[in-house]
């Protein structure tokens, strides 16, 4: 008799008197050439995939009902709401002018990687969240208030970029270029997206910060020594260059690189059958997940409380970033409309 796939099943284990007699599992199928059942263990023990014939079925409970408490490395789904503009309502010459944004060349990336591997440098990557929201706008753009957050006869005067604006990538590049040049970096003549900075022997860059509440970028050559440089960080601190005197115990601070042997490891994605099984169950559950398409649908669906919390989180983030300013609506103003985008993010650790 065939049993229901992915139902909860209890496998008998030979343990001591005080140990549990069975382990909670999920039915994966039937192994080839072996009399028994192929099971996926829901506890923290390994191996995850086992074969057993002494089992008890509970076909009334499915794996997706116990997915969050299974310990299989599945993260709790996150409800995300993003406010975006309808850029098809923008008009050239009124709401935007230049939209071209340069992109770094692949040859530049290859040169950096080659130098890092050849000279045994340390390469660090900086990922800025909500990157596109940090570009300052030059055009005067008015947008309607977000659905569900209207405050009288007001409109939003944009101060910073908002998602899906046509000039958004261009403004971000300008902001980044101004910041890099103001901190002593030079733009490469071969690739305008590549920046470099020269250091005088005997000097080091103490650090560069921006005002409080903004992102901070620190460049420390002392990091090559694998020891930190303690310094005071103040608001609006410029790049400081400090002479390094030769102390009597300079020999204790020589550059020494003692790296671990470089080995190639298998990527985390689908490392073993347990990850594949967990991913398959999660992907099957996601097919039944409904994401609202409009604001009205989000506030009237079954998970309306979660979507409202996601929208409140997005609005708080935009207010802290000072993305817009509420002004009175004037007759004849050209307004750009906006809408909400909703997404449920689910993933498995290591997949």
Using H for helix, E for strand and C for coil, what is the string for 123-178?
Answer: CCCCCCCCHHHHCECCCCCEECCCCCCCCCCEEEEECECCECCCCHHHHHHHHHHH
Under a CB-based contact definition with an 8 Å cutoff, are residues 180 and 194 in contact?
Answer: no
What average pLDDT score do residues 30-42 get? Answer: 83
> Do 160 and 79 fall within a single domain?
yes
Residue 46 DSSP symbol: S
Q: Are residues 161 and 274 part of one domain? A: yes
Within this chain, do residues 91 and 163 fall inside the same structural domain, yes or no? yes
- Enter the pTM of the model: 0.49
**Do 287 and 159 reside in the same domain of the chain?**
yes
Query: By CB neighbour count within 10 A (0-12 exposed, 13-18 middle, 19+ buried), where does 243 fall?
Result: exposed
Task: Give 293-298 contacts, CB < 8 A, sequence gap 24+.
Answer: 293/342, 294/339, 294/340, 295/147, 295/148, 295/339, 295/340, 298/81, 298/340, 298/342
> Do residues 54 and 315 lie in contact, with contact meaning Cβ atoms separated by under 8 Å?
no
Q: How many Å is the Cα radius of gyration of the chain?
A: 28
- Higher per-residue pLDDT: 1 or 255: 1
CB 344 within 8 A of CB 82: no
Question: Is 40 contained in some domain?
Answer: yes
- What is the extent of the structural domain holding 44? 7-66
Q: Fill in the DSSP letter of residue 32.
A: T
Overall number of domains in the chain: 2
Tell me which DSSP letter residue 115 carries. H
Question: pLDDT tens digits for 256-297?
Answer: 455 665 665 555 554 555 556 666 665 555 555 678 888 999
Q: Which of 318, 329, 320 is nearest to 85 (CA)?
A: 318
Structure tokens at 166: 């046509």
25, 40, 66: which is the final residue of a domain? Answer: 66
Q: Show the tokens assigned to 344.
A: 């449920």
Question: Distance (Å, rounded) from C-alpha 53 to C-alpha 45?
Answer: 19
pLDDT by residue (tens digit) across 182-227? 888 888 888 888 888 877 665 544 333 333 333 333 333 344 444 3
* Whether residue 308 has pLDDT greater than 60: yes
Q: What is the pLDDT of residues 82-118, one digit of tens each?
A: 888 876 666 666 556 666 667 888 898 898 889 888 8
Pair 81, 157 in one domain:
yes
Burial class of residue 196, CB neighbours in 10 A (0-12, 13-18, 19+): exposed
Please report whether residue 147 resides in a domain: yes
Which tokens in the block code for residue 329?
């609506």
pLDDT at 311: 92
């Amino acid at each position: 008799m065939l049993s229901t796939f992915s139902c909860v099943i209890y496998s008998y284990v030979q343990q001591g008197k005080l140990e549990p007699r069975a382990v909670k599992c999920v039915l994966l199928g039937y192994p080839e050439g072996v009399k028994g059942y192929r099971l996926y263990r829901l506890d923290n023990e390994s191996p995850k995939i086992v074969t057993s014939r002494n089992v008890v079925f509970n076909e009334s409970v499915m794996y997706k009902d116990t997915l969050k408490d299974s310990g299989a490395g599945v993260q709790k789904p996150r409800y995300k709401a993003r406010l975006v503009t309808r850029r098809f309502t923008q008009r050239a010459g009124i709401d935007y002018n230049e939209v071209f944004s340069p992109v770094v060349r692949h040859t530049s990336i290859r040169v950096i990687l080659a130098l890092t591997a050849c000279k045994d440098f340390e390469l660090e990557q900086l990922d800025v969240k909500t990157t596109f929201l940090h570009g300052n706008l030059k055009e005067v753009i008015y947008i309607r208030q977000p659905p569900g957050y209207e405050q009288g006869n007001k409109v939003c005067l944009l101060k910073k970029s908002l998602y899906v604006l046509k000039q958004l990538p261009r403004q971000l590049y300008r902001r980044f270029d101004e910041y890099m040049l103001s901190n002593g970096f030079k733009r490469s003549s071969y690739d305008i997206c590549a920046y470099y900075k020269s250091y005088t022997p005997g000097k080091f860059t103490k650090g560069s910060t921006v005002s409080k509440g903004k992102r901070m970028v620190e460049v420390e050559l002392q990091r090559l020594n694998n020891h930190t440089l303690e310094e005071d960080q103040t608001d609006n601190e410029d790049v400081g260059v400090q002479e390094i005197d030769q102390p009597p115990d300079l020999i204790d601070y020589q550059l020494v690189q003692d790296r671990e042997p470089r080995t190639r490891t298998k990527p985390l994605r689908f490392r073993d059958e347990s990850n594949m099984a967990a991913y398959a169950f999660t992907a099957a559950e996601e097919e039944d997940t409904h994401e609202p398409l409009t604001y009205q649908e989000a506030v009237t669906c079954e998970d309306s409380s979660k979507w409202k919390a996601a929208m409140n989180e997005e609005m708080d983030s935009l207010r802290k970033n000072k993305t817009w300013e509420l002004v009175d609506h004037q007759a004849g103003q050209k307004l750009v409309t906006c809408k909400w985008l909703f997404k449920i993010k689910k993933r498995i650790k290591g997949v």
